[in-house]
Amino acid sequence: MKRIKLAIFTGNRAEYGILQPIIKYLNRDQRYKVDLIVSGGHINKEYGATINQIRNDGHKNITVINTPSMDTNHMDTLVNFSSLMNDMARFIQEKKPDFVIVYADRYEGFSTVITSALLNTPIIHIEGGDKTEGGALDDSMRHAMTKLSHIHFVTNLEAHNRVLGLGEESWRVFTAGLPSLDEVSDKNYADLKYIENCYMKNRDIKELIVFTIHPMPNDLALTKKSTEIAIAAVDKYLKNYPESQLIITYPNNDPGSNIVIEILKKYAIDNERVILEKSLGRWLYHGLLALNSPEYRVVCFGNSSSGIKETAFLGCPNISIGERQEGRLRDANNIDVDYNIEEIYASLEIALKSEEYNFTNINRTSKYFFGGSGKTIAEKVFNIYQTRSKSEILNKKITI
């Protein structure tokens, strides 16, 4: 039997962490031959050079595509966008994949989608139909990727209905859930002993604040202001509660990320209760969030989508600052706050001190978990490949 050739694109750490369970499953499935294309922030040392993590995970058939600029402004993004299109075109013409798999709403994935569409290569899009109204380009880019793609695996039921509402034919749309939660379900994350050895050598620490703040590419002044406000609020909390410790991760490689990183570096210098990491990786990140227990209290804090989508299943509260994730589907463990020091400080006290958000009172369910996303994608794609011609897959019909 001819193996189905899949090209899976990843352009940053968060995206790879979510795709990883799918990649692992497809690599084990003898019906598929997987090529992994790695680009964007993965290559950049400033963001942790996460290409090394990908290699350490043991993936074969890795193609690295370098981007020429650092993504500190919109012109960098445009330069990288066009460069990625050229290199992806060469990859597709050489490898001739049967399908290209892309994730979510990043510009790197968008460039891959445009290139694949122009070269008549069927596109599988994961996490279409989500909604964010926070002033970034996420929604516009995600929905544009949906309309250019041919097969859709969404992460929740609202997204499923939204993709159908965009006019996609029902045979193209499937609910697979958020893939990274499959790893959480299998408890494939760092354990207490490992985390204590890495991050809690001071045994007086009983609270962890895991903090990630991304820039607002459409408002760099707000990016600076919001980061400074968040740091001021958490600093006040650390000073009032000596049993707490802050673990900060770098932002995504977006326009304005250099502004955020400069503020974070300045704050973390010589502060023994602040740990600044370029990248934690999903294994360690999930392990930290899963630590919320009678022994330790943990909160996820910032404006990252992972805080909204992954923390409930891990039994961890999440504080979402500002409008960056506005409109995104939430579970009950989420606390929304504005850019206000006192409001953020109060939310930290609620998340870490109140009984409402302790380990036993958070319902460990998620609107994003359906289980077995890798298997779902493998079976559905195989069925479509066996029963639909390439021309039928490429010839999209709008239903509205």
Q: Which CATH number covers residue 244?
A: 3.40.50.2000
Q: 14 with 154, same domain?
A: yes
Residues 6+ apart with CB under 8 A from 162: 129, 130, 131
| Alpha-carbon dihedral 294, 296, 302, 305, rounded to 10 degrees | -60
Q: Residue 356 phi/psi, 5° resolution?
A: -55, -35
- Provide block-wise average pLDDT over 10 residues at a time, the chain (400 residues): 94 93 96 97 91 92 93 89 97 98 95 98 97 78 96 98 98 98 96 90 90 92 95 98 97 93 96 94 96 92 96 96 93 96 98 87 89 97 98 97
CA R_g for the chain: 21
Q: 261 with 318, same domain?
A: yes
Helices assigned H by DSSP within the chain: 13-28, 51-56, 74-95, 107-118, 138-148, 157-165, 180-185, 192-199, 220-240, 257-268, 282-289, 305-310, 341-353, 373-387, 390-394
Query: Is residue 81 in some structural domain?
Result: yes
Q: 172 with 59, same domain?
A: yes
Q: 196 with 339, same domain?
A: yes
Query: Is residue 258 in some structural domain?
Result: yes
Q: 39 with 128, same domain?
A: yes
- Write down the pLDDT at residue 294: 82
Query: Is residue 362 in some structural domain?
Result: no
DSSP structural state of residue 371:
S
**pTM for the complete prediction?**
0.96
Q: 99 with 162, same domain?
A: yes
DSSP structural state of residue 250:
P
- Write down the pLDDT at residue 117: 98
Q: 122 with 219, same domain?
A: no
Sign of CA pseudo-dihedral 247, 40, 322, 73: positive
Q: Residue 165 phi/psi, 5° resolution?
A: -65, -20
What range defines the domain where residue 287 resides?
190-353
Q: 25 with 77, same domain?
A: yes
In the chain, the number of structural domains is 2
Q: 27 with 167, same domain?
A: yes
Query: Is residue 183 in some structural domain?
Result: no
Q: 283 with 377, same domain?
A: no
Q: How far apart are CA 318 and CA 307, in angstroms?
A: 6
Q: How far apart are CA 228 and CA 222, in angstroms?
A: 10
